[in-house]
């Protein structure tokens, strides 16, 4: 039987939410190893520095033993190829995600046809969480404890 291999779970993760954690946990059940790849989205400006995002993801994922977290700045398709990744994992929350995700998946497939993009449908309870909404609510002093794991909550509370 063919093994499931290494998957990359790329994203901005700024900050890492319960929605991200949910997708990651499910990907870890399927792939041999999942690398959370903190990559640069040229359309977004950063809130937490990449190194801090990495620390926080590590703190939130101590219960998972077949994953790692790396920061990467460059073209994801090239990186996936260099890592011999079999898949790129992305979460889908709602219909509005499709257009962006499809364009990205098609572009990555053109650049690295051997790397399959695999979509995980988010759990219902996380369908409305996005990192930008978390930042927005936090910026206005709202309660984000149901959106982000404790280490992220603590880090945001001290900003
Ligand atoms: O969480 P995000 O911001 O939706 O993740 C987007 C991300 C970081 C995965 C995407 O912007 C990306 O892959 N950036 C790395 C540069 C790259 O390869 N861009 C082309 C994507 S088609």
Domain count, the chain: 1
This prediction's pTM: 0.96
pLDDT value at 12 more than 80? yes
The reply to whether 1 falls in a domain is no
State the Cα–Cα distance between residues 6 and 29, nearest whole angstrom: 12
Distances, alpha carbon 135 to alpha carbons 4, 10, 48, 57, 112, in Å: 35, 19, 11, 16, 33
pLDDT at 3: 64
β-bridge mates for residue 92, sequence order: 121
The reply to whether 130 falls in a domain is yes
Give the domain CATH number at 129: 3.40.50.620
The reply to whether 114 falls in a domain is yes
99 CA to middle of ligand 1, Å? 14
Task: Tell whether ligand 1 has an atom less than 6 A from the beta carbon of residue 76.
Answer: yes
The token pair at 153 is 């909550």
- Region of residue 83 (left: phi > 0; alpha: psi -120 to 50; beta: else): alpha
151 CA to middle of ligand 1, Å? 24
**pLDDT per residue as tens digits for the range 128-141:** 899 999 999 999 99
pLDDT value at 95 more than 90? no
Distances, alpha carbon 32 to alpha carbons 8, 43, 139, in Å: 11, 32, 38
Average pLDDT of the chain, as a whole number:
95
Rounded to the nearest 5 percent, the helix, strand and coil shares of the chain are: 45, 20, 40
The reply to whether 128 falls in a domain is yes
The reply to whether 25 falls in a domain is yes
CA-nearest residue for atom 16, ligand 1, is 75
CA-nearest residue for atom 13, ligand 1, is 76
**pLDDT per residue as tens digits for the range 32-63:** 999 999 999 988 888 999 999 999 999 999 99
Cβ–Cβ < 8 Å for 60, 23:
no
Cβ–Cβ < 8 Å for 76, 39:
yes
pLDDT value at 2 more than 70? no
Q: Residue 36 sits in which domain range?
A: 6-157
CA-nearest residue for atom 10, ligand 1, is 41
């Amino acid at each position: 039987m063919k093994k499931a291999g290494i998957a990359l779970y790329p994203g901005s993760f700024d900050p890492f939410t319960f929605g991200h954690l949910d997708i990651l946990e499910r990907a870890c059940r399927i792939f041999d190893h999942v690398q959370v790849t903190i990559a640069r989205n040229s359309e977004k400006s950063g809130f937490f520095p990449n190194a801090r995002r990495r620390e926080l993801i590590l703190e939130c994922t101590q219960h998972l033993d077949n994953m790692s977290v790396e920061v990467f700045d460059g073209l994801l398709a090239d990186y996936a190829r260099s890592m011999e990744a079999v898949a790129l994992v992305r979460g889908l929350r709602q219909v509005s995600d499709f257009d962006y995700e499809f364009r990205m998946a098609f572009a990555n497939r053109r650049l690295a046809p051997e790397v399959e993009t695999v979509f995980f449908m988010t759990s219902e309870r996380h369908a409305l969480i996005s990192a930008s909404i978390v930042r927005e609510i936090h910026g206005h002093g709202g309660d984000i404890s149901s959106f982000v794991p404790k280490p992220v909550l603590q880090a945001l509370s001290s900003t």
